[in-house]
Chains A and B, each alone.
Chain A
Amino acid sequence: MTSRSRVLAAALSATFLLTACNAGSTSDDPTDGENNATGDADNGDSTGGTGGTAAPGDDAVRIGLVAEPASLDFTTTDGAAIPQVLLYNVYESLVKVDQSGEIVPALASAWEVSEDGKTYTFTLEQGVTFSNGETFTAEDVVSSFEAVQNDWTVSLKSQFDIIESIEATSDTEVVITLASPSNSFLYSLTTRVGAIFDSNSVDELATRPIGTGPYTFGEWNRGSSITLQRNSDYWGEEPYFDQVELAYFSDANALNNAMLTDSIDVVGTVQAPEALSEFEGGDYQIIEGTTNGEVVLSFNNETEPFNDLRVRQAARHAINHQALLDTCWDGRGTLIGSMVPPTDPWYEDRTGDYPYDVEAAKALLAEAGAEGAEVRLRIPTLPYATACAPIVESMLEEAGFAVTIDDLEFPAAWIEDVFTNADYEMSIVSHVEPRDLKAVLGNPDYYIRYGTPELRTLLDEADAGTEEVQIEKMKEAAKLVSEDAASDFLFLLPNLIVADPGITGLPENAITESFDLSQLAGE
């Protein structure tokens, strides 16, 4: 248990104890260890897919996920859980990212970029309606994007700061002008800021999401599940399943048990790879894909001892990444060496920059006069962090660091201490946002406190240049953060899905914010 959540547990149990004493009762500690789970597993009686063809049927499918959304409104609430359900499924965007990482048409059938890279002209699909019957027009695009700039409160809205004007030139054409050319703009349209809302129903975002997607929002049983219904008026190819139920579990064991006892048909995200052993042996299909989740061993570049390049280099040399991955994540995942996943166009294998070399690490530490440097490894209570931290600790201690592991409840305590106050020397956290090198390392105020002028120049040049320039400069940026040991990059999280054998079309790679259900089918 973390020191912070210990405070909480103590507070709560003290309250209970107080009452218990009042009642003269024997105490029964309510905050015992094994207490993480929520979500209903089972409502329908389908086993998910017996049709034989991919034509729409009456079947329902039940998918188990972790972490229920706190709200349905991603314009005011952050977190991955809301776009995971709603984006591409209920809300659509002008363009989307496909399974190979390519930007492909969605509500925009085509788009053109002007010579100077500042004007984007989108041609919209016709005959598209929202699930409340309203017709989708260019005006909806304008109002949705203006809302991002004006009404959204989450920080992601800053991606649209670059937009100078948005104009509906006809019902089916939108022209967006940027202040300066930006390669990341089109990509940002594939994320939640690009979601298109019906301009007349934005007051109810938190309770009744209305979109143009293949599914309509059904019902939210708080504490257990969200159901989506097939949109029978969908402009594209109608989905196979009549109903998709997303069942939420905050305990990984409960999620796996639900799969083993046939309460759900799919485990959407396996939380710890060792759990896969329960599903091996032929009864289930196991899908392993890739994600955008770089597990970063972050250093506080601003304070001792990691403000010294040699200490950072020592830490990178001290870690045997393959052994780490094998031990704490069952060898599943990808070694990357920098802040770029292989699905991005500018990926380069940078694992060779600091090969495992304890002697080199010791020498660097000695040179920096930092032998026995005391560092706190303050980690969030998330599966990969708690699993990998002890191994990181022993590897670093081997090289001469004095490491203390400190667990912080995630999100609240970790965000406060590490993220907001940067009160840490090292942490382990997976940065799951797509193309987030700039957000994580390019900002000197971000908790890693890196963002050197040199890197920022490279990132700006990448964003403003042609596609070739972008790729070239992003490669240089990735090389720079690796060589400068701004952090260590432990590995890339795998995407692990377990499903009943008959289910097809699951999103193998989790490289967008959406859990894309549109291709889902049974056989």
Chain B
Amino acid sequence: MLLRLAQRFLVLLASLLVASVLVFAFMQVLPGDPARVALGMNSSDDSVAELREQFGLDRPVFVQYADWLRGMVTLDLGVEWVSKAQIAPQLVDRLAVTGWLVITAMLLALLIALPVGTWMAVRHRHLDGVVLSAISQIGVAIPAFLAGIILITYFAKRWQWFPSGGWVPPAEDPLGFLSRLALPAISLAMVQASVLARYVRTAVLEVLREDYLRTARAKGLRPMQALTRHGLRNAAVPIVTVLGLQLATLLIGAVVVERVFVIPGLGSFLLDSVASRELITVQTIVMVLVAAVLIINFLVDALYLAIDPRLRTGAR
């Protein structure tokens, strides 16, 4: 098992390195000279050249890459070119905001998806099961930002139950924090819940068809009882996998939803930095997102090994 884990870890490191090269390369082809953007429309070529030098953009590309990579590895992210603000503390602040959003949305989605998905599986031959299944299909198709706009239209603008956006830290104003978290988290969770519920349904259906459940039912247990006593642990294996993957998509979805709800998280940070051509910041944020997705993937693999004894022997 340890060997397999070590293998996976090496793959993770290699992927991170390849991703960093690609991210850096994409920034190089991005149009728009950062110095020109900072100095604006009436800048002279001399002052642009001077600023490029200050930004270190006149150095060879590979030196810039190595410098950036070293900064990331040593957690010394440097300062933004224009604002001169430290990147690292901002990144931490923004990550915390996005973290609240993603984790709340995930918990909410699970809370909905587990019972609903199980219900959909157990009742898959009945009308209620089919109707729920159809609803979840619609949920899958609605992107989170659209869900967000719909929620704002009704819950914020029409009924004024929640603010339409913005953010306060939980420590500063817990109630204000919750009221601002609600709509964006729900709009992310709606999509996730639909996706997850469908996975849960499939997993549970599969388990229901297993021999051991038939045996359990033959002993006189009702379907739900048989499932809760013998089936759910087995259904959990594929669900955990999906959960990890969905966490990654949730993170990416949050980038967009933050924009709709005016939340100063990682997504807003990324888009603002793109607009002002703070390339180091953009690279770093994208890299953090990429790393998060890869690490989640790695952890899912590890968890998978832990849950399913069959994989530990390496015999697969």
Contacts and interface: CB of A to CB of B under 8 A. Distances in A.
B294 interface: yes
A34 B149 contact: yes
A221 interface: yes
Nearest to A43: B168
Interface string B145-169: 1100100100011001001111110
Nearest to A39: B262
A16 interface: yes
Contacts of A153: 39, 47, 50-51
A117 interface: no
Contacts of A154: 39-40, 42-43, 47
A249 interface: yes
A381 to B, nearest CB: 10
A19 B290 contact: yes
A409 interface: yes
A28 B267 CA distance: 14
A405 B295 CA distance: 43
B49 to A, nearest CB: 11
Interface stretch (A211-219, A227-235, A250-258): A250-258
Nearest to B245: A25
A42 B163 contact: yes
A35 B271 contact: yes
Contacts of A412: 30-33, 36-37, 275, 277
Contacts, number: 240
A258 B260 contact: no
Nearest to B241: A24
A368 interface: no
A417 B33 CA distance: 11
A51 interface: no
Contacts of B43: 78, 154-155
Contact of B36 (A16, A42, A254, A420): A420
A153 B260 CA distance: 36
A68 B249 contact: no
Given A25-B249, A78-B43, A223 B156 contact: no
Given A32-B256, A153-B39, A71 B166 contact: no
Contact of A30 (B15, B90, B255, B261): B255
A23 B245 CA distance: 7
B264 A413 contact: no
Interface stretch (B66-74, B77-85, B120-128, B229-237): B77-85
A100 interface: no
Interface stretch (A7-15, A138-146, A370-378, A490-498): A7-15
B293 A23 contact: yes
Contacts of B214: none
A196 B201 CA distance: 68
A36 B257 CA distance: 10
A35 B256 contact: yes
B199 to A, nearest CB: 11
Contacts of B47: 153-155
Given A14-B26, A70-B38, A70-B276, A19 B165 contact: no
A24 B245 contact: yes
A139 to B, nearest CB: 27
Contacts of A77: 38-40, 82
A30 B253 contact: yes
Contact of A28 (B19, B249, B277): B249
A4 interface: yes
Contacts of B296: 23
B42 A439 contact: yes
Given A34-B260, A70-B276, A8 B30 contact: yes
A19 B156 contact: no
Contacts of A12: 26, 286
A155 B44 contact: yes
A155 B176 CA distance: 44
A79 B37 CA distance: 9
A7 B31 CA distance: 9
A383 interface: no
B149 A19 contact: no
Given A30-B255, A40-B167, A71-B83, A22 B15 contact: yes
B41 A415 contact: yes
B308 interface: no
A258 B245 CA distance: 34
Contacts of A439: 42
Contacts of A391: none
B5 interface: no
Given A14-B26, A23-B297, A78 B42 contact: yes
A260 interface: yes
Nearest to B42: A155
B312 interface: no
Interface of A: 4, 7-8, 11-12, 14-16, 18-20, 22-28, 30-32, 34-43, 68, 70-73, 76-79, 153-156, 206-207, 221-224, 247, 249-251, 254, 257-258, 260-263, 409, 411-413, 415-417, 419-420, 439
Q: Which 5 A-B residue pairings sit nearest by Cβ, starting from the closest? A: A78-B40, A412-B32, A223-B264, A41-B166, A11-B26
Given A8-B30, A78-B38, 17 more contacts: A16-B293, A23-B296, A26-B245, A36-B259, A38-B259, A40-B262, A77-B38, A77-B40, A156-B42, A222-B90, A222-B264, A223-B94, A254-B164, A254-B165, A257-B157, A409-B32, A415-B41
Interface of B: 15, 19, 22-23, 26, 29-33, 36-44, 47, 50-51, 82-85, 90, 94, 143, 145-146, 149, 152, 156-157, 160, 163-168, 176, 195, 244-246, 248-249, 252-253, 255-256, 259-262, 264, 267-269, 271-272, 274-277, 286, 289-290, 293-294, 296-297
